[in-house]
Amino acid sequence: MRLLIAGHRRDLILAAARVGHSVVLVDPSPPRRSVRHLLAGFHPCDPSGAADLAGSLLGPFDLVIASGERWVLPAAQLRERLGVSGPTVEQELPFRDKLAMKRTFQRLGLAHARYIPWPGEVGWEEFARDVGFPLALKPRMGVGGAGFVRLASPEMVPGALSASLDRFPEGLLLEEWMTGPECSVETFLLEGTAVLASVTEYVSYGRINLVSPTLPDALDRQLLLANDRAIEGLGKRAGMTHLEFFLTPAGPVVSEIAGRPPGGYLMDLIALAWGLDPWALFLDGLTGSWSAASPRRRTVAGNVVIYPPGGTVRGIHGVDAVRALPGLVRFSLRLRPGEVVAPRRSLGQTRGVIVVTGPDAGSVRRTLLEADRLLRIEMESSS
């Protein structure tokens, strides 16, 4: 097949090349050397200009694939302009626009955090009286946690709304603050059927993840039922979804859903936990082919995603201790003393990762927490 991949993701390109697909890449930056020779073409383009690029692309293409969140709507625009089958802009909107997403959850009868759009008909004061503080403030079209603000008191709200609206003019959401453990379900779809649903526990949101944890049977069933209802209600039939939940005393509450592969190195953890190539599985779902045996859990895999607070790196401690941990599969660290690190603006930003496997969730969780304790990055604030 001839594939147009919107947004560079090395493992996706490698998986496509392994089975003989012809790949044309659209991305703002030139392709890395490791995949450059695998591409049939490259077009430099930012997501905002993707629709205008359609006229200069030499088709035909069998599929247009969004590799990440920023490319979901641009990829749909390219499909429409190029006449390629697949989800339209209207169908993809609930996966990107948080207001459309929440309204879909509401329509499907899925438990979700209460919310209001901003600007909107309901004032923030009235909403806060109903749900209390703190509140969560999010941009409607935000990616990877960018623009998220925790509003702890009424005094914080006016300034935060004004500043956020200047930065994200497409609009905001104010949400009820949810507490409790968080997790996600990564689902691989082939012709509307889930061929794999893998659960990720967020030991520490955006930092420490655990794939294939042991969940009580009742909770497992609740998660998967809600997951199936969301996927069916959104009309997703191919590729994959990434649905996040809060685990509350009253049961799972849906948070957000994405219709593309997750970040946070979760695909690497799925590969280890299930003993398969998740990128190949993702492509199988999109191309309508399926040749692998039914996936079975092999182990538990987890990671610590490394990104220090903004500032100047003064010292890095505990590297040897981390390398000596049981079950260590990978430890990469892209930091050096004296380096200036910008504040983390989205969960997609990383400076390294620690990956661990083990026979059960408890032992892997303990090792991850120990790794997080041992690795100390000494920072000096730049302020």
Q: How many other C-beta atoms are found inside a 10 Å radius of the C-beta of residue 381?
A: 8
Quote the pLDDT of residue 105. Answer: 97
| Cα distance between residue 135 and residue 113, in whole Å | 11
Length of the chain measured in residues: 383
- CATH architecture, range 302-380: 2-Layer Sandwich (3.30)
Quote the pLDDT of residue 292. Answer: 60
Where in the chain are the domains?
2-95, 114-176, 182-292, 302-380
Domain 114-176: CATH class, spelled out: alpha beta
The CA distances from residue 356 to 181, 190, 215, 274, 363, in Å, are 21, 30, 19, 14, 10
Q: Is the peptide bond before 60 cis (omega within 30 degrees of 0)?
A: yes
Which residues pair with residue 179 across a beta bridge?
A: none
What is the CATH topology of the domain spanning 182-292? D-amino Acid Aminotransferase; Chain A, domain 1 (3.30.470)
Strand ranges in the chain using DSSP code E only, listed in sequence order: 2-6, 22-27, 39-44, 63-66, 115-118, 135-139, 149-151, 172-176, 182-190, 193-204, 208-211, 239-248, 251-258, 300-305, 311-317, 328-333, 340-341, 352-358, 376-380
The answer to whether the 114-176 and 302-380 domains have the same CATH topology is no
Q: What is the CATH number of domain 2-95?
A: 3.40.50.20
Per-residue pLDDT tens digits of the chain, which is 383 residues long = 999 999 999 999 999 999 999 999 999 999 988 899 999 999 999 999 998 998 889 889 999 999 999 999 999 999 999 999 999 999 999 999 999 999 999 999 999 999 999 999 999 999 999 999 999 999 999 888 889 999 999 999 999 999 999 999 999 999 999 999 999 999 999 999 999 999 999 999 999 999 987 777 888 899 999 999 999 999 999 999 999 999 999 999 999 999 999 998 999 999 999 999 999 999 999 999 876 667 788 899 999 999 999 999 999 999 999 999 999 999 999 999 999 999 888 888 899 999 999 999 999 999 999 999 999 999 998 66
Q: pTM value?
A: 0.94
Quote the pLDDT of residue 291. Answer: 64
In this structure, what token pair is assigned to residue 262?
A: 């997750």
| Cα distance between residue 12 and residue 278, in whole Å | 9
| Cα distance between residue 347 and residue 147, in whole Å | 11
Quote the pLDDT of residue 5. Answer: 98
Quote the pLDDT of residue 383. Answer: 60
**Residues 309, 379 contacting (CB under 8 angstroms):** yes
